[in-house]
Chain A
Amino acid sequence: MIPVKKYLASFFTLLAMVSILPTKVWAVGAKLTVTGDEVVIYSGPNNRYRPLANAAKGESFPVSQRRVLGTKGGSEFYKVLVTIRGGDRRIGYISADDPVQIEGTTEAATDDVDSYQTIALARSAVQFSFGGLKDSNYEVAIAYIKYPAPNFYYKYFVGQLITPITGNFLGGIEIGLDHTLAGHWSIYGLVNTGVALPASANAVFPGSSSLAAQLQSGFGFRYSVGEFAAVSLGIDQATIFSNNNSLLSTGYLATLEVGL
């Protein structure tokens, strides 16, 4: 008698193991080596794109033999393959004007680099945010956000803190770290601070006057669709305070970024 169950179990186990074998054969033929001081690797072929990583002198990357003409009239860029910690690989661009050296000429490596998709991310964007806090308090804001360095951004924002009673002005600055995880996904942490201008006395918390300070912080995940947009969802905690009292609250924060 054929041990059907045993056979099927073995078959599917083998199938599962085969499915997790590497599907790409890694050919290291052509490589780019940084010969000068630290260079910036951009997520797209122009320095107007978001910096993806910094490469120190001596670091090497698989490179495509085909140079890419920079968008928007920029200079030429080398297309390299950057390995993110954890094994994820992404396409990055290094300016041909930077101090780098190319070695090797195999087309196999070029084809392999070219087989990865570019996720060009905007260096600056307009961000719309919506947050829900406890006790039916909500926040809406519009912001200008800029990524001057890999994984780091700052932004200026103005918006409204909407309580069950009234809307109140919010404005300030924010800094954040945005770590690439895999593919389009990243994880962020942020801190922002600024002023809150309650529309009337006691509008935000008992004792709130016409001027208060606010400090918010949060963590969450961001999905970057590409150059033109990104969305995020995370947890948020907010402190709005004056000298005599404060409102401490927690909730969620959702954002939509549109690249500039």
Chain B
Amino acid sequence: MMKRILFVIILFGVPVHAGETTFESMARYYNDSETQVFSPHTRISSSIMKDSVVIGAGYAEDVVVSASSDVRSWSSKGVISDLRKEESGDLTFNLQSGSVTGYFIQSDENDYHSQTYGLSTTRDFFQKNTTLDIGVGLGVDHVGNSHEIGFNAPMQHQNVTIGITQVYSPVSIAQLLFDFTAENGFLSGSYRLARLGQTDGSVIGIPENSPNSRVRESLAYKYNHFFKSINSSLATTLRIYYDTWDVKSATLEERLSHDYGKHFSMTYNIRYYQQGQANFYQDKYDPTNLPVFFTGNKTLSNYFTALAGLRPTFHFGKDWEAYAKVEYYIERFGNFTDVGDPLNPADDKLYSINALILGAGFSGKF
């Protein structure tokens, strides 16, 4: 078969000239004392046919062990473990003044299967100082439940992104990015329980019931500037978000990178996120006045997160780098409580997370 392909290539003169290949591999470890997640990730891409086509592929895993409040209070063992595998592939055609990319992502875990298909295109204007991106994605998910054989709830999502990137000067660049995602189908957690507060202060859980439609919109502004005098770059990201469940949020992130000589650089980053609750969220519902929709999802409550991190990078060879990452992350919930023992109201307190995130990886071109 290979000979036939080679024959066709030689006969018809298809110019398959291998070009640049980019390789990246990294691993990330998250630990908040209740949940540990190990996430290795690898990606390779290569340009062929005089750089007019780029083929890419990736593989990622999330190995999760959790005894968080969600799990501890309601699961039979008090701890769960899961493995998520993700395979991806993409193909980019570089055109006259832009590109067209198609991609596919398959993600599987014990009780969740997802396939995402996407197409995107870019176009450069004004001598490549302005770039317009349009991206389209379609996802088909199937939600399972390991406690209920045959449970298979579908969920579909559509995604559209529009981005404008503007080069202001050789040292500054900005991007405005609009993201639209519509989800339709089973949007509840297949295990997650909403809490019903009882008159004696105890709590019982019932399977949550979320609306089957959610439309999310966000707008992000990114600005990067390189300061020659101090050999450093500053990247600022501001993102605002709104959805039809009335969740509103804002994110502010700053990243400062400084080159310490030719072979070593350090990136310092901080991020702050603040969110308002969904319109049907309650920490504990009144069983005598239960609304149509009720949830136990803590990410639909009022909360904020903050992150601070360091990323030392060692540059070697022509285009290679190796890096490490250390981040400290907190979540503080305003109206989601750690029920603890459902029968003991005394140990009920606002939930919070303190997590350490470690990472290491390398990337390069050859």
Contact = CB atoms under 8 A, between A and B. Distances in A.
B337 interface: no
Given A16-B11, A179-B96, A181-B95, A189 B215 contact: no
A250 interface: yes
Interface stretch (A67-75, A95-103, A123-131, A239-247): A239-247
A187 B100 contact: yes
A223 interface: no
A217 B213 contact: no
Given A53-B97, A245-B212, A191 B119 contact: no
A226 interface: no
B42 interface: no
A20 B52 contact: no
A177 interface: yes
Given A191-B160, A217-B136, A239-B215, A152 B125 contact: yes
A17 to B, nearest CB: 7
Interface residues of A, number: 40
Nearest to B185: A248
Interface in B158-194: 158, 160, 162, 180, 182, 184
The main secondary structure of chain A at its interface with chain B is strand
B244 A241 contact: yes
Nearest to A55: B127
Given A53-B97, A239-B182, A248 B121 contact: no
A38 B244 CA distance: 45
Contacts of A215: 160, 180, 182
A13 interface: yes
Contacts, number: 108
Nearest to B243: A243
A243 B211 CA distance: 10
B119 A20 contact: no
A151 B180 contact: no
Contact of B136 (A181, A219, A244): A219
B134 interface: yes
Contact of A13 (B11, B98, B122): B11
Contacts of A218: 136
5 contacts: A176-B134, A215-B182, A217-B158, A239-B158, A248-B158
Given A187-B100, A219-B100, 12 more contacts: A54-B126, A86-B52, A149-B125, A177-B123, A179-B96, A179-B100, A217-B158, A237-B158, A239-B215, A242-B244, A244-B244, A248-B156
